[in-house]
Amino acid sequence: MGRNPFVLLVFLIVSSMVAAPIHCKKQTQTLGHFYERKMKRSSGIDKSGFKAVHYINKSRVHTQQGMKEKDRIEKLPGQPGVLFQQYGGYVTVDKAAGRALYYYFVEAYHSKESLPLLLWLNGGPGCSSLAYGAMEELGPFRVHSNGKTLYRNRYSWNYAANVLFLESPAGVGFSYANTTSDYDDSGDSKTAVDNYVFLLNWLERFPEYSNRKFYIAGESYAGHYVPQLAHTILQHNKNANTTIINLKGILIGNAVINDETDVKGMYDYLASHALISDETANGIEKHCNFAPEDDSESSRECDAATDEAGQDIYYVDIYNIYAPLCHNSSLTIRPKEPSVANFDPCSDYYVYAYLNRDDVQEAMHANVTKLDHDWEPCSDIIRRWGDSPSTIIPLLQELMANGLRVWIFSGDADGRIPVTSTKYSIKKMKLAVKTKWHPWYLDGEVNFLSL
């Protein structure tokens, strides 16, 4: 075609730089878009009760001999020295389909032989536990603004537990399926089965944890994944009349629990925090019905009011309504002064750069099959979601009735699944109060941010 190859090269570089920001789809945007679809009658999403698979037999558990040592991570590129062990690698959850989930495991700083095992799951659906949980929230390291080096998180949960981060379902982060049509066949119940099969195989690989006290934690849409996996474990323990997995409890934060109260709580939060007008709030109150049994298309008045609210919060970081926005997503040559307490709103871009580095992927034993897409914080390749029950309250009730501990927590700056939603959903369970609400002080303050 006689084109100058140099011009083409320059174009490619420029376009890949321009394209980078839109690649960073955020966790809360993902959930917002998912809800917009789910609330439409024509969504095709099955919203009835969770359909658990109650019998997953041993044919999906394979020998894992020697694999633990292969998964050991010597050191992550740019990491400060630490004394705990790290592991990363793949667990095949379906041999025929070639489906494998990626995990990153950090042992506890001390007493790893006695501290519990905790599995962390992020939401979406489609967001990565490595992106958010491990690298921006509760993991031992955070990524500097140079996208190359790491610093320590002194609030890491591996001071209290051995923490396992899982990218789930297939199509999220480094997790994949060779049968790519699997991506269009995703949903809550398949996710629960794959997560359960993952655990059986992982515990085979790390047998010293097979009888350990086990907890499952997660946030946002993992309000579905966590109790669904817990239910699956409970049912299999019951069927087998033995403790296959020693589950003790679950923890869910700013969690999707019950659509009707979650959505109502969201608009009440936006109104009470002066993010939308009284007229808009009244319009939603008067014209919208978020009840799952109401399957009529929403009214024009309701749509107008919710559209108005959507526009009003368009520029707000709905994950933390008081947070600054990321105005310049470029990496810096010298790292900005990091602060765990003062969250850097551009962190997604640092993590994206770091986890897409070849040396990082090699050190983590990730992307060994050379996938044809890059690592993303929230998946672009999972396009269809088959089932998502409108409530998970029956599962929470079942877990409590079986003596499992259930901890529901909520950060009060999240506007997507805010504290109002969480309170309305808990109220629906009509539980007895053992200890009344009281303020929680730390060094004479109720606010942690000053630390």
Ligand X SMILES: *[C@@H]1O[C@H](CO)[C@@H](O)[C@H](O)[C@H]1NC(C)=O
Q: Which spans of this chain sit near ligand X (rule: CB under 6 A)?
A: 57, 59, 92, 98-100, 174, 178, 241, 328, 330, 332, 361, 367, 369-371, 373-375
Least Å from the CB of residue 99 to ligand X: 6
* CB distance 405 to 211 below 8 Å: no
The DSSP bridge pattern shows strands 247-253 and 405-409 to be parallel
- 56, amino acid identity: I
Helices first, then strands: H and E counts in the chain: 12, 11
Quick one: 356 exposed, middle or buried, by C-beta within 10 A (0-12, 13-18, 19+)? middle
Least Å from the CB of residue 363 to ligand X: 13
Least Å from the CB of residue 220 to ligand X: 22
Comparison of 192 and 392: residue with beta carbon closer to ligand X: 192
Least Å from the CB of residue 381 to ligand X: 10
Picking from 75, 67, 116, the residue whose alpha carbon sits closest to that of residue 91 is 67
Comparison of 87 and 269: residue with beta carbon closer to ligand X: 87
Give the H or E element holding residue 301: helix 300-312
Least Å from the CB of residue 401 to ligand X: 19
The DSSP bridge pattern shows strands 214-219 and 247-253 to be parallel
Least Å from the CB of residue 50 to ligand X: 20
Least Å from the CB of residue 235 to ligand X: 14
Name the residue with the smallest CB distance to ligand X: 98
What is the number of other CB atoms lying within 10 angstroms of the CB of residue 435? Answer: 5
Comparison of 98 and 386: residue with beta carbon closer to ligand X: 98
What is the Cα–Cα distance from 404 to 230, expressed in whole angstroms?
9
What is the Cα–Cα distance from 306 to 283, expressed in whole angstroms?
8
Comparison of 89 and 223: residue with beta carbon closer to ligand X: 89
Least Å from the CB of residue 303 to ligand X: 37
Comparison of 179 and 277: residue with beta carbon closer to ligand X: 179
Concatenated DSSP letters of 244-292: SS-EEEEEEES---BHHHHHHHHHHHHHHTTSS-HHHHHHHHHH----T
What is the Cα–Cα distance from 354 to 360, expressed in whole angstroms?
7
Comparison of 245 and 257: residue with beta carbon closer to ligand X: 245
Comparison of 367 and 391: residue with beta carbon closer to ligand X: 367
What is the Cα–Cα distance from 256 to 422, expressed in whole angstroms?
8
Picking from 325, 304, 326, the residue whose alpha carbon sits closest to that of residue 316 is 325
Comparison of 105 and 174: residue with beta carbon closer to ligand X: 174
